Amino acid sequence: MDQDAAIDLRALSSTPELDLVERHRYGDPDAFDEIYRRFESMVYNLCLRMSGSASDAEDLAQEVFLRIHRHLGRFNGRSSLKTWVYRVTLNLCRSKLGRKRWPMRTLKDEDDEGGVELVATGRGPEDRAVDRDAARRVLEALDELPRKFREAVVLRDLEDLSYEEIAEVLGVRIGTVRSRISRGRDRLRRLLPPPGDEEGAP
């Protein structure tokens, strides 16, 4: 382990999360398995929303957990383990997907290989087609946002993080988080036409 990563966790107040980290540091494989089970869906969903590709999301999520396994000793309990994992995930996606834009993928029907299911099941084919088109337009609009606004909107409106958690993940003040979300939503509203105003609508 790197000297910088070595932390005397026993000197900190004991919490269940720090206990997990401590067990991992001392070679308990069940500790990392528990962390993986706890955050598997969360990490995959964020990777999927950032990449727009199920196959890319699987590759990204796998690499995220490799990084978590390698650097878990750096976790010091100043934030929750959840926000630390979000930060690791977001930083990896930034580096892998590019600094300016998240590449958009063609949204396939959910039955196609590699497709992404973005609409609720159990509805009629016409309703599902409308929902799928709406989801496509939202993703395309998100792709037009500057990265700092897109990240804040996704973490708040799709990942349902609190303002405090988003501030921890992004490393900014809560006031900055509120400003980015507000400006991001305003831009989305301008990019998304009201229902019935789409090009070619009667």
Which residue from 160, 34, 145, 32 is spatially nearest to 86, judged by alpha carbons? 160
Residue 153: partners with Cβ closer than 8 Å, 6 or more residues away: 142, 145, 180, 181, 184, 185, 188
Tokens of 133: 């088109």
- What are the tokens at 162? 């609190």
Q: Tokens 């997990």 label which residue?
A: 20
Residues 6+ apart with CB under 8 A from 99: 147
Nearest to 75 by CA among 27, 167, 12: 12
Alpha-carbon gap, residue 127 to 50, rounded angstroms: 26
pLDDT top residue among 100 and 162: 162
Per-residue model confidence (pLDDT) at position 119: 40
Tell me the two tokens of residue 144. Answer: 């037009």
pLDDT of 16 over the 70 cut: yes
pLDDT above 70 (res 14):
no
- pLDDT tens-digit readout, 104-139: 443 333 334 343 444 444 445 554 455 566 667 777
Instruction: Give the model's pLDDT for residue 126.
Output: 52
Amino acid in the structure at residue 57: A
Distance CA 5, CA 28 (A): 18
Distance of CA 13 to the CA centre of its chain: 29
Structure confidence by residue, pLDDT tens digits, 58-74: 999 999 999 999 999 88
